[in-house]
């Protein structure tokens, strides 16, 4: 069985350097506290920009543009525009990550998902 908490080849999602060994059995995702803070601050500021668009997209995603109801048509139009805008914005964020030499977030997100981190954030 593979130890998923093995940090030997794990890279910092902020700078791409190895994160180093775990300390006191704690999960270690970042190479340093400054990288953790920088990553969190960037995630917070990027999240603020897209959260309303994502909520509207989620709320209106089943609205049909072919509906006879003008309100339904409006919701479908707003959905499409919100999706287009959020795609454009997140592409900009990804481009900035690449330009800054930051690594892909696939490994980081996979680990969070495996630990149920995203689910936990929705619970009180
Ligand atoms: Zn780092």
Q: Is the residue at 107 inside a domain? A: yes
* pLDDT value, residue 9: 80
Residue 93, in any domain of the structure: yes
> Is residue 7 in some structural domain?
no
pLDDT at 21: 78
Global pTM reads: 0.81
Task: Report if residue 65 sits inside a domain.
Answer: yes
In a domain, 37, yes or no: no
CA of 1 to the centre of ligand 1 (A): 28
Q: Which residues of the chain have pLDDT under 70?
A: 1-8, 23-26, 118-124
Please check whether residue 33 is in contact with residue 12, taking contact to mean a CB–CB distance below 8 angstroms.
no
| Ion ligand 1 neighbours, Cβ < 5 Å | 12, 14-15, 31, 35
Total number of domains in the chain: 1
Nearest by Cα to 83 from 48, 54, 62: 54
Q: 112: domain range?
A: 47-120
- pLDDT given at position 1: 39
Cβ-Cβ contacts under 8 Å for 46 (sequence gap 6 or more): 93
């Amino acid at each position: 069985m593979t130890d998923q908490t093995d940090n030997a080849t794990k890279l910092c999602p902020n700078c791409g350097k190895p994160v180093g060994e775990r300390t006191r059995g704690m999960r270690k995702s970042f190479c340093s506290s400054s990288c953790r803070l920088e990553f969190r601050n960037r995630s917070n500021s990027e999240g603020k920009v897209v959260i309303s668009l994502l909520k509207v997209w989620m709320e209106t995603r089943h609205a049909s543009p072919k509906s006879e109801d003008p309100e339904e048509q409006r919701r479908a139009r707003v959905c499409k525009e919100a999706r287009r805008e959020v795609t454009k914005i997140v592409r900009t964020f990804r481009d900035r990550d690449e330009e800054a030499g930051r690594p892909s977030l696939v490994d980081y997100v996979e680990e969070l998902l495996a630990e149920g981190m995203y689910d936990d954030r929705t619970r009180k």
